[in-house]
Amino acid sequence: MSDTRARPATAAGTWQLGDLTVNRVGFGAMRLTGGIPFGPGGRRSDRERSIAVLRRAVELGVNHIDTAAFYFSATRSANELINAALAPYPDDLVITSKVWPGRDPSGDWWWAEPEQLRGQVEENLRQLGRDHLDVVNLRLPRSWASRSVAEHFGALAELRDAGLVRHLGVSNVTAGQLAEARTIAPVVCVQNPYSVDAPGAQRELLRECGDLGIAFVPFFAIAGARREAGAGATEDGAVLQVARAHGASPAQIRLAWTLAQGAHVLAIPGTGDPEHLVENVAAGAIRLSDEEIARLGKVRQGAG
């Protein structure tokens, strides 16, 4: 059996995060905990099922997992689940985390000052049971679009120099903020919201990252404009039509389209459902025609 069939996460190829090679189809840990950190509610997750999902992801060839210390619910921590499921970690596994947002034990949000980022990095290290983090993204507040990232990113660069972090990325940034960060330290990835209904500015940033050789790592690729609420019950007609043509789900088509935007684009779909995991990973093998890619690219926010 070919490696692609045995490990379907390899079907879409690889990309470099600095000196680390990852398969372009990865896994996002946010939904493992049952609760959604950025929104209300959520359901209780089954710990053993979440652990099984993580182990199955690695079996399927996933070697890039996105997480954060603030991914936790009343009963579950994404980092703790990753540690329990995968330590001792495979040599090729890359774990990406993010800092700046934080949550106290009650779940209330706070935003770190530059000098507090070390504590956030160390908390990720403790929870994951590691002595360094492969990649850390500086996750910006949505209200920060016109402000400087220099102090916070500079503090992360110092942690990189100290050996606590191997590579740095940025999240929720504008093109100007990416340019500013790159004057301080190398940036290996940009993690921004992106899907078939992404606005023009995000599409331009994706293209710019490709020109710079920087990985673009979309979140909400499946949920689209619904963001933290997840995929909706209704779907855009163009997505449904292409899905029927490929015998695939709309979620798979959204992921396939996202990956088709460039060899530097990585996917990190998340789920706590073993069946959805297999479906998401299989999307990396779907090849859309140029006409289908163009048709899906005309979907706009709020469509469907």
Separation of CA 7 from chain center: 20
Indicate whether 301 pLDDT > 60.
no
CATH number reported for the structural domain that contains residue 113 in this entry: 3.20.20.100
In a domain, 301, yes or no: no
In a domain, 187, yes or no: yes
> Which pTM does this prediction carry?
0.92
pLDDT at 229: 41
Question: What contacts 24+ positions apart, CB below 8 Å, involve 178-187?
Answer: 178/205, 178/208, 178/209, 178/214, 180/148, 180/149, 180/150, 180/153, 181/138, 181/149, 181/153, 182/212, 184/150, 184/153, 184/154, 184/157, 185/153, 185/154, 185/156, 185/157, 185/160, 186/18, 187/214
In a domain, 303, yes or no: no
Q: What percent of the chain has pLDDT over 90?
A: 81
**pLDDT tens column, 1-44:** 457 788 999 999 999 999 999 999 999 999 999 865 654 444 55
The first and second tokens of residue 65, run together, are 């997992």
| pLDDT (average), residues 74-97 | 97
In a domain, 302, yes or no: no
In a domain, 304, yes or no: no
In a domain, 164, yes or no: yes
Which of 15, 27, 70, 71 does the annotation list as catalytic?
71
Indicate whether 151 pLDDT > 90.
yes
pLDDT at 86: 98
Q: What percent of the chain has pLDDT over 70?
A: 90
Place of tokens 């045995």: 6
Based on the residue annotation, tell me whether 89 is a catalytic residue of this protein.
no
Residue 228: which of 187, 188, 193 has the closest Cα?
193
pLDDT at 39: 47
Domain containing residue 58: 3-296
Number of domains, the chain: 1
